[in-house]
Amino acid sequence: MAPDLLTLTPQGLFCPAGGFHIDPWRPVARALVTHGHSDHARPGHAAYLTTPQALPVIRHRLGPITAESLPYGQPLAIGPVTVSFHPAGHVPGSAQVRVEHRGEVWVVSGDYKTEADGLAEPFAPVPCHAFITECTFGLPVFRWRPQPMVIADVAAWWAANARAGKTSLLAAYSFGKAQRLLAALPPLGPILTHGAVEEINQILRAQGYPLPATTRVTPEITAKTHPGALVLAPPSALATPWARRFEPAEEAMASGWMAVRGIRRRRGLGTGFALSDHADWDGLLTAVKATGAPRIRATHGYTVPFARHLCDLGLQADTLQTEFTGDDTPGDGA
Ligand SMILES: [Zn+2]
Ligand SMILES: [Zn+2]
């Protein structure tokens, strides 16, 4: 039997035939990077390869790096191996990586979701022999409602708060989730942004992603200057002195983890909107089937139950121990 096209080294996922890593967590010579979240785009690699859409955020986050970009769908030869990027639907610019060698094709999903969100390039299944899939939400309890329904809930919450003379403080990851909300929400009032969100907004706007006007929160901005505003901030900014200027305010968080009542309660959030940039249970199964791959390697989340379920379906599935956080840490945009 031929050796695996992709293997695990202490640095991360490695292609021995091509001599490159994919989303490595320790410094390597050549890194293919699926997207700009911090558990995938790490500092210290000698050379980076990513999509042109993902590169500006990665440069913003990592500072000066040696990087090249490769457009979606365009093949590139790296030694005897051919690689290409394909939309993952996770955040703007995010990619799956297709790796081909001597007729054998492996695909690394990176983080992905199957529902089109109106901003990120929609997920495109890629036929392959082996699919390395994330499974952050790989349990049957995770089933997302369609985005328009969740957005309608957020809009109703915002409108009700504004009617009650309150600010709406919405926590969302600063890259991906925040912009997805911005692009989808109706214009019900002023939208204020934490600096971490606004920096990403400006980068994506400059790239041509359609985002509505937003105002960065500066010291003179308070609930009085912008009554009825929606404030988009990273989760870490809630319950801080920074947030106090918006009182009286209602707080909420948009995250896939909000589907679990216990997590919502532990975070002390009365309101949670279950909106995730990762595939839910059905999305994962749909994506796996769409690849036609007989071999699946599960990483990044509920790997053991998900792989077991795939084995029950007759697939050759196992788990792959990676160092992607796959939880609700700020970097990952769950
Ligand atoms: Zn991730
Ligand atoms: Zn991610």
pLDDT in tens, 226-236: 999 999 999 99
**Domain end among 255, 273, 291:** 273
Question: Taking 60 as the threshold, does the pLDDT of residue 281 lie above it?
Answer: yes
**pLDDT, averaged across the chain:** 94
List the CATH number of the domain containing 131. Answer: 3.60.15.10
Tell me the average pLDDT across 269-273. Answer: 81
Is pLDDT at 308 greater than 50 in this prediction? Answer: yes
Q: What is the pLDDT of residue 124?
A: 98
d(CA 306, CA 256) in angstroms, rounded, equals 17
Nearest 5°: phi and psi at 10? -60, -25
Q: Of the ligands numbered here, which is closest to the C-alpha atom of 113? A: 2
Answer whether residue 36 shows pLDDT above 70.
yes
Look at residue 334 in the predicted model and tell me its pLDDT. 61
**pLDDT at residue 327 in the model:** 41
What is the number of domains present in the chain? 2
> Which of 273, 290, 308 is a domain's end point?
273
Question: Tell me, what's the pLDDT at 1?
Answer: 64
- State phi, psi for 81 to the nearest 5 degrees: -105, 145
**Ligand found nearest the CA of 54:** 2
pLDDT at residue 333 in the model: 56
Cβ distance 13 to 23 under 8 Å? yes
Residue 192 or 263, more confident: 192
CA of residue 135 to ligand 1 center, whole Å: 10
Lowest mean pLDDT among 25-29, 98-102, 235-239, 251-255: 235-239
Confidence of residue 271 (pLDDT cuts 50, 70, 90): confident
> Within this chain, do residues 282 and 265 fall inside the same structural domain, yes or no?
no
Give the tens place of pLDDT for each residue, 50-59.
999 999 999 9
Domain shared by 90 and 29, yes or no? yes
Distance 189 CA to ligand 2 centre (A): 29
CATH number at residue 198: 3.40.50.10710
Ligand nearest to the CA of 326: 1
Q: 269: pLDDT confidence band, cut at 50, 70 and 90? A: low
pLDDT bucket at 330, cuts 50 / 70 / 90:
very low
Least reliable range by pLDDT among 160-164, 192-196, 211-215, 237-241: 237-241
Average pLDDT of 250-264? 86
* Ligand that comes closest to the CA of residue 301: 1
Q: Which domain holds residue 96?
A: 7-141+278-319
pTM recorded for the entire structure: 0.95
**Model pLDDT, residue 239:** 82
Please give the pLDDT value at position 325. Answer: 66
- In the reported structure, the alpha carbon of residue 6 is separated from the centroid of ligand 1 by a whole-number distance in angstroms of 18
Q: What is the pLDDT of residue 324?
A: 75
Asked if 75 and 13 sit in the same domain, the reply is yes
Tokens of 280: 């839910």
Q: How confident is the model at residue 2 (pLDDT cuts 50, 70, 90)?
A: confident
CB-based contact 186:155 (threshold 8 Å): yes
Which of 271, 241, 96, 256 is CA-nearest to residue 176? 256
On whether both 137 and 166 belong to a single domain, the answer is no
Cα 34 to averaged position of ligand 1 atoms, centre (Å): 9
Between the CA of 5 and the centroid of ligand 1 the distance, in Å, is 22
Query: Which pairing describes strands 95-101 and 67-69: parallel, antiparallel, or unpaired?
Result: unpaired
Q: Are residues 12 and 121 in the same domain?
A: yes
Q: Is the domain of 219 the same as that of 314?
A: no
Identify whether residues 84 and 191 lie together within a single domain: no
The CA distance from 226 to 228, in Å, is: 6
Based on the fold, state whether residues 75 and 44 are members of the same structural domain.
yes
